[in-house]
Amino acid sequence: MRDVVQGAIDAFSWFVLAYFLVLNTLYLVLVLTAAGDVFRHIRRRPFAGDEDMFASPLTPPVSVVMPAHDEEPVIVEAVHAMLALRYPEFEVVVIDDGSTDRTFAVMAEAFDLVEVPKVVPDLVPVEGELLSVHLSRQGHPLTVVRKTSTGSKADANNAGINASRYPLVCMVDADAVLDEDALLTVVKPFVDDPLRVVATGGSVRAVNDSTVHRGRIGDVRMPKRWLARIQVVEYLRSFLLGRSGWSRLQGLLIISGAFGVFRRDLLVAVGGYDAHAIGEDADLVARMHRHLRHEGRDYRIEFVSEPVCWTEVPETRAVLGRQRRRWSRGLAEVLWGQRRMMGNPRYGRIGTVVLPYYLLFELIGPFLELAGVITVALGFSFGLLDVEFALLFLAVALGYGFLLSVVSLAIEELGYRRYPRARDMAIATLGALVENVGFRQVHAWWRIQGTWQFLRGAEHSWGTMTRTGFAAEAKEPEKV
């Protein structure tokens, strides 16, 4: 009996070891692919032509859509920051999605809003009732739409699509901070390839404990809490370099809901966001791929690593756990909803490579990772696995993952240098170690819980994220 058990443990352990080796090698391929793209972008940056774009009357105008629900403490500064973006022609459309605080009142006072009898067309479905439309008497290119809340950010986004006027629509969270030239840079692919580019996404980074002054990032700092520091490493590897790699391979599936630009006519053609989807951003991009492949169009959906959207990441296990369970459940919903694309050559790389990757390594992966770690630990404890195999497993499963994170940090340091202090990079390196030994296993458990919620059809609750707010930049003393 012992031989049977040992044989089963040996077989499963080697299987999980091979799985980790394939998974981390795929990550390495994505990171190195992204690195080449990042350094090419850095070399071309002095000749990018941003000033020409800013001065050109041919640069396409953009509608910046900001859904807001109970954002009274930050909404005025957020709108001021969006209005101060460097871009030749744009408008800001704020959707007050049934706020129960003074979100609308503080905007009305700050921007001298007046109600206008504007008819908002029904281009994409909106479940909430539109209550009123307001413009600024101060001359700002600002529209504020009030609607009843359905508890869905996607529904507010759809209201913004209907209320927008311009051919490009930029989705931005109301509590996010953009770099001053972020809009210019993220729209550039539309200018360079106007016939094929249909959507672009920008990089999202953690702003916790960095200083913000008048809606602009001042001093970029490493967060004080370890949970946020680990997410800095995560965002660099997965959200910056991972998505850059998929974009380079023409397989981008996710554009973050915090910062993305889309052709308005395509948003209308696919029916806007699905108000009932938990992962509404990935669901939208997947439906875009399907729609465009059905039409037989040559198109590009690109990730642009340079423009940065800064957002506050969770700093407690409870809030982070809710977020990651929601992400995992949203991914499961997207893969199930697009199951006809899975493995289908008709949908190109999305069907034959990207969706199978997300199924095998993002959805099923946490089950294998956690089961593998537990099996190897128990097998070693009871003498069923030798020391050499245990060390090999640790090297491939954890050491390889740590190496990937360190490589990502090195690319960040060489390419963008957002964290100029040596101390910050040392902390980030230690955070990469903590991420792989401890956090990764807890994260896998959260992802398993999210998938299980999808499988059993549990009622979904968005929950709330407790925000600590941005650190204010210290004021210089007045001269006398």
- How many C-beta neighbours within 10 Å does residue 214 have? 10
pLDDT tens, position by position, 42-101: 776 665 666 667 767 778 999 999 999 988 888 888 898 899 899 999 999 999 999 999
Pairing of strands 168-172, 62-68: parallel
- Is the model more confident about 148 or about 151? 148
Tell me, what's the pLDDT at 307?
Answer: 64
pLDDT tens, position by position, 231-274: 999 888 887 788 888 998 899 999 988 899 999 999 999 999 99
* Residue 408 contacts residue 337 (beta carbons within 8 Å): no
Average pLDDT of the chain to the nearest whole number:
87
- Is the model more confident about 21 or about 45? 21
Q: pLDDT-derived band of residue 479, with 50, 70 and 90 as boundaries?
A: very low
pLDDT tens, position by position, 303-356: 988 767 888 889 999 999 999 999 999 999 999 999 999 999 999 999 999 999
- How many C-beta neighbours within 10 Å does residue 84 have? 12
Give the H or E element holding residue 115: strand 113-116
pLDDT tens, position by position, 456-475: 987 765 455 555 555 555 44
- Coil, strand, or helix at residue 96? strand
pLDDT tens, position by position, 393-407: 888 888 888 888 888
What integer is the mean pLDDT of 33-40?
Answer: 79
What integer is the mean pLDDT of 408-420?
Answer: 81
> Is the pLDDT score of 476 beyond 50?
no
Q: pLDDT-derived band of residue 294, with 50, 70 and 90 as boundaries?
A: very high
**99, 320, 338, 450 from 460: Cα distances, Å:** 21, 16, 20, 10
Burial of 28 (0-12, 13-18, 19+ CB in 10 A): middle
Tell me, what's the pLDDT at 425?
Answer: 87
- Is the model more confident about 167 or about 379? 167
The tokens of 384 are what? 């069923």
pLDDT tens, position by position, 105-146: 999 999 999 999 988 999 999 999 999 999 999 999 999 999
Tell me, what's the pLDDT at 480?
Answer: 31
What integer is the mean pLDDT of 423-450?
Answer: 91
* Residue 145 contacts residue 120 (beta carbons within 8 Å): yes
> Is the pLDDT score of 437 beyond 90?
no
DSSP string for residues in 191-242: HHSTTTEEEEEEEEEE-TT-EEETTEE-S----SSHHHHHHHHHIIIIIIII
Tell me, what's the pLDDT at 464?
Answer: 54
Euclidean distance between the first and the last CA atom of the chain, given in angstroms as a whole number: 87
**Residue 417 backbone class (left: φ over 0; alpha: ψ -120 to 50; beta: rest):** left
Tell me, what's the pLDDT at 190?
Answer: 94
Q: pLDDT-derived band of residue 477, with 50, 70 and 90 as boundaries?
A: very low
Burial of 312 (0-12, 13-18, 19+ CB in 10 A): buried
List CB contacts of 404: < 8 A, sequence separation 6 or more: 24, 27, 28, 31, 237
> Is the pLDDT score of 421 beyond 90?
no
Tell me, what's the pLDDT at 357?
Answer: 95
